[in-house]
């Protein structure tokens, strides 16, 4: 079992790191956080730093190694960047943090990064340290820490794709996180969806529309960029969900979904998603098959320029989007078709910030059985197995280096990117234990081989 000393030290490190506002665009704070992680890896874990370089001005990709001469190597991946936060409506200052007894949840550490992902980062490292200090670490560990996960992990993906990349071939890669979503049983995802992010923008110019906001009385003879944007958005995705296409669920995924549906609680999922109803009717299996098989174009923000204007024809308008696809579909294919469709809406421009495909692994892939056993041991409940996540992660980038890439970790957190982001104290202890158990089981599998 994880000792009180390890738990207390991991919580203290989480508190220290959450006090560093390492948000996108804040280069000094991102570097400060990277330096703190590197220093801990060297001085506390005794890891060798393979690389910590910054590529093209981006936050450093940290690659560390702990080699114990074991026959099995695993990858532990995590992140040190966080989303912005202001103190408004928080129970504690977001970049200071504190213990809060959250209603219906219990004692929790609340701070920006508590769940996503500085708590899991600190807990992951202390799980390794606990085993190493006890002489029980039986796997070599490649540690990869990302400084721009919240904006697409471009530098990490480039690092992994480089033919000269020195990441050792590994049995499994895990992304330690709190996987007891909404306080339910821990989830195991056997893959991830693909994603593209960007904006559709219309500015006044040669096609029409004013170059500065003008009085709305001109509407009969001056084109409106906001109206043209609405027209452009109507050319992709079916409302109200932005559905683009659906894939057939293959036999392995069908079996997994059938088992998942038997224990899946749609009402609990709605509570977790802070929503009153789904966009379609059906039982648990129907809902799961639909969400897993559907590619969609989500409008995440919509605004006219200048913001907050009234009684004007705006000079511009923009919509932020995320296009998500199940693993067998590539978001770039949908974007290529959309570019062609935008010929019907002159003035509309598609700007893509990032795009990558999904990827999935077989249920028999290395690391999966060890993860299930770790949950059965630490969470004391039957985990949920999903054929892939509806969320995105660059699993495809890890596939050349590891035979699986899995979100992993017991424990409960919540409100990622929102107010009062938290991790429960009881869940944090269980999380550290689950990662240590997984590492120990992976070592056992190597010894048995």
| Boundaries of every domain in the chain | 4-192+359-448, 194-356
Q: What is the mean pLDDT of residues 260-274?
A: 92
How does the average pLDDT of the chain come out, rounded?
96
In the predicted model, what is the mean pLDDT of residues 68-81? 98
What number is the average pLDDT over the span 326-338? Answer: 97
| Average pLDDT of span 155-175 | 97
- Looking at residue 272, its pLDDT comes to 85
CATH number of 194-356: 3.30.70.360
> What average pLDDT score do residues 102-126 get?
97
Q: What percent of the chain has pLDDT over 70?
A: 99
Strands 405-408 and 294-305: unpaired
Q: What confidence tens digit (pLDDT) does each residue in 207-252 have?
A: 999 999 999 999 999 999 999 999 999 999 999 999 999 999 999 9
The span from the CA of 329 to the CA of 358, in Å, is: 7
CB of 370 within 8 A of CB of 445? Answer: yes
Which CATH number does the domain 4-192+359-448 belong to among 3.40.50.970, 3.40.630.10, 1.20.1600.10, 2.40.128.130? Answer: 3.40.630.10
Average pLDDT over residues 192-206: 97
Q: 448: which residues sit within 8 A by CB, 6+ positions away?
A: none
> What is the rounded CA–CA span in Å between residue 95 and residue 20?
7
CA distance 254 to 328: 15
Q: Do domains 4-192+359-448 and 194-356 have the same CATH topology?
A: no
Rg (CA), the chain: 23
What contacts 340, CB < 8 A, 6 or more positions away? none
Q: Is the pLDDT of residue 447 over 60?
A: no
Pairing mode of beta strands 384-386, 187-189: parallel
Across 261-281, average pLDDT: 93
Give the model's pLDDT for residue 449. 44
Q: What is the mean pLDDT of residues 391-404?
A: 95
Report the interhelical angle of 4-18 vs 27-43 (nearest 10°): 160
Q: How confident is the model at residue 446 (pLDDT cuts 50, 70, 90)?
A: low
Amino acid 157: pLDDT: 96
Q: What is the mean pLDDT of residues 187-199?
A: 95
Q: How confident is the model at residue 381 (pLDDT cuts 50, 70, 90)?
A: confident
- The structure tokens listed for 357 are 């495909």
Check residues 2 and 324 and name the one with the higher pLDDT.
324
């Amino acid at each position: 079992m994880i000792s009180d000393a390890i738990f207390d030290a991991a919580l203290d490190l989480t508190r220290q790191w959450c006090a560093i506002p390492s948000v996108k665009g804040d280069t000094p704070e991102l570097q400060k956080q990277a330096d703190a992680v590197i220093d801990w890896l060297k001085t506390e874990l005794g890891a060798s730093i393979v690389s910590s370089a910054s590529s093209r001005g981006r936050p450093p990709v940290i690659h560390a190694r702990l080699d114990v001469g074991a026959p099995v190597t695993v990858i532990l991946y995590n992140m040190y960047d966080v989303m912005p936060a202001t103190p408004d409506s928080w129970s504690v200052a977001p970049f200071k943090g504190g213990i809060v007894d959250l209603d219906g949840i219990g004692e929790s550490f609340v701070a920006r990064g508590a769940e996503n992902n500085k708590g899991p980062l600190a807990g992951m490292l202390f799980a390794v340290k606990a085993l190493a200090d006890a002489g029980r670490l039986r796997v070599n560990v490649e540690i990869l820490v990302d400084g721009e996960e919240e904006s697409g992990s471009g530098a990490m993906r480039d690092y992994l794709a480089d033919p000269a990349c020195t990441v050792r071939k590994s049995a499994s890669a895990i992304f330690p996180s709190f996987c007891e979503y909404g306080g339910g049983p821990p989830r195991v995802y056997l893959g991830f969806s693909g994603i593209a992010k960007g904006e559709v923008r219309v500015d006044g110019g040669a096609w029409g529309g004013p170059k500065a906001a003008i009085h709305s009385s001109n509407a009969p003879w001056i084109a409106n960029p906001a109206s043209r944007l609405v027209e452009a958005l109507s050319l992709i995705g079916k409302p109200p969900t932005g559905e683009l296409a659906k894939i057939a669920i293959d036999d392995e995924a069908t079996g997994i979904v059938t088992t998942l549906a038997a224990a899946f609680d749609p009402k609990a999922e709605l509570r977790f998603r802070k929503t009153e109803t789904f966009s379609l009717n059906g039982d648990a299996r129907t809902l799961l098959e639909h969400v897993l098989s559907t590619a969609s174009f989500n409008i995440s923000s919509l605004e006219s320029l200048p913001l907050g204007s009234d009684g004007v024809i705006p000079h511009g308008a923009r919509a932020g989007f995320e296009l998500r696809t199940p693993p067998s579909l590539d978001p770039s294919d949908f974007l290529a078709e959309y570019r062609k469709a935008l010929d019907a809406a002159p003035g509309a421009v598609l700007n893509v910030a990032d795009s990558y495909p999904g990827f999935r692994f077989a249920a028999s892939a290395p690391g999966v059985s060890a993860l299930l056993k770790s949950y059965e041991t630490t969470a004391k409940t039957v985990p949920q197995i999903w054929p892939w996540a509806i969320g995105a992660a660059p699993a495809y980038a890890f596939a050349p280096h590891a035979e699986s890439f899995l979100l992993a970790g017991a424990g409960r957190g919540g409100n990622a990117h929102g107010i009062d982001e938290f991790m429960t104290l009881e869940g944090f202890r269980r999380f550290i234990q689950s990662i240590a158990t997984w590492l120990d089981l992976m070592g056992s599998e190597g010894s048995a081989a």
